[in-house]
Amino acid sequence: MSALPNPAAGPTAGRATGPARRALRGVLPPLLLLAAWQAASTGGLADPRLLPPLERVAAAAWTQLTAGNLRDSLLRDLGGFALGASAGLGLGLLLGLSPLAGRLLRPSFDALKGIAVFAWIPLIAIWFGFGEASKLAFIALAAFTPVVLNVDEGVRGVPAPLREVAAALAWTPWQRLTRLVLPAALPSILTGLQLGLIHAWLATVGAEYFLAKGSGLGGVLIEGRDRFDMAQVLLGVLLLGGVGYALNRLADLAARRLTRWRTA
């Protein structure tokens, strides 16, 4: 006779194994892909000059990481994101809070946001040169647009009944901003910051690749291409994807933690 399930342990056990199973499902496809890569490279199914074995990529990783290229890209990314997100928060709040500013500035912003971010590279290069300032300006511009859009949308989306309550309580503009607008618009603001962080990381590589060659993952890709070193090129691609995934996950976890009170 089969044992009866334990009602007390069942739900807890399910909750405990659920995250582990989801993590395993997420890790399994990349591991299978890496195994197929290694098998194809060492088994003669692919030209090792075009698809080098993983040990060559690992050796290139050690060289590039000790050279500080990943660190330089991350610092450049976070610096540009901080500039763009700060400016985006300011403009988004201005557009959302001030009807006059919205009428004056939103049409121009809507026109400018339709310009592909890489189309700004020639202008940025002329204005800021080819040094670090131009790269930071390009990254900041990439992060700026999604932050403005989501902050503006979140502020304008504050429910009218809540605004009426604030008016009835005769709150000052500062009280309305801190007690009503920012808490109500927080999910949209966090979404904008997360998107801005992703766009900033993509722009970091673009800035390093299309502007002057220097340190960073963009330089790793350029150097690998010029030397026809596919281990270095593939390493750059893997690092770009891995760091982008890590940044997105960190931003998502931070957003969940900051908005836990909404589901409590």
The pLDDT confidence band at residue 150, using thresholds 50, 70 and 90, is very high
Question: Domain spanning 60-259: which superfamily?
Answer: MetI-like (1.10.3720.10)
Neighbours of 20 (CB within 10 A): 9
Q: Report whether 248 contacts 198 (CB < 8 A).
A: yes
Q: Interhelix angle for 230-258 vs 182-210, to 10°?
A: 170
The pLDDT confidence band at residue 137, using thresholds 50, 70 and 90, is very high
Summarised one tens digit per residue, pLDDT across range 51-76 is 887 888 888 888 777 778 888 889 99
Evaluate if residue 261 carries a pLDDT over 70. no
- Percent of the chain, pLDDT > 70? 88
Q: d(Cα 78, Cα 66) in Å, to the nearest integer?
A: 20
The pLDDT confidence band at residue 2, using thresholds 50, 70 and 90, is very low
What SS3 class is residue 119?
helix
What residue spans define the domains of the chain? 60-259
Least confident piece of the model among 42-46, 149-153, 183-187, 230-234: 42-46
Evaluate if residue 16 carries a pLDDT over 70. no
The stretch 238-246 carries a mean pLDDT of 87
Q: Report whether 159 contacts 181 (CB < 8 A).
A: no
The pLDDT of residue 29: 79
Amino acid at 92: G
Least confident piece of the model among 18-32, 115-129, 152-166: 18-32
The pLDDT of residue 227: 83
Evaluate if residue 160 carries a pLDDT over 60. yes
Q: d(Cα 92, Cα 13) in Å, to the nearest integer?
A: 45
Summarised one tens digit per residue, pLDDT across range 75-103 is 999 999 999 999 999 999 999 989 898 89
Query: Taking the mean position of all CA atoms in its chain, how far away is CA 227?
Result: 30
Evaluate if residue 46 carries a pLDDT over 60. yes
The pLDDT of residue 212: 64
Q: Report whether 97 contacts 103 (CB < 8 A).
A: no
Phi and psi torsions of 163, nearest 5°: -65, -40
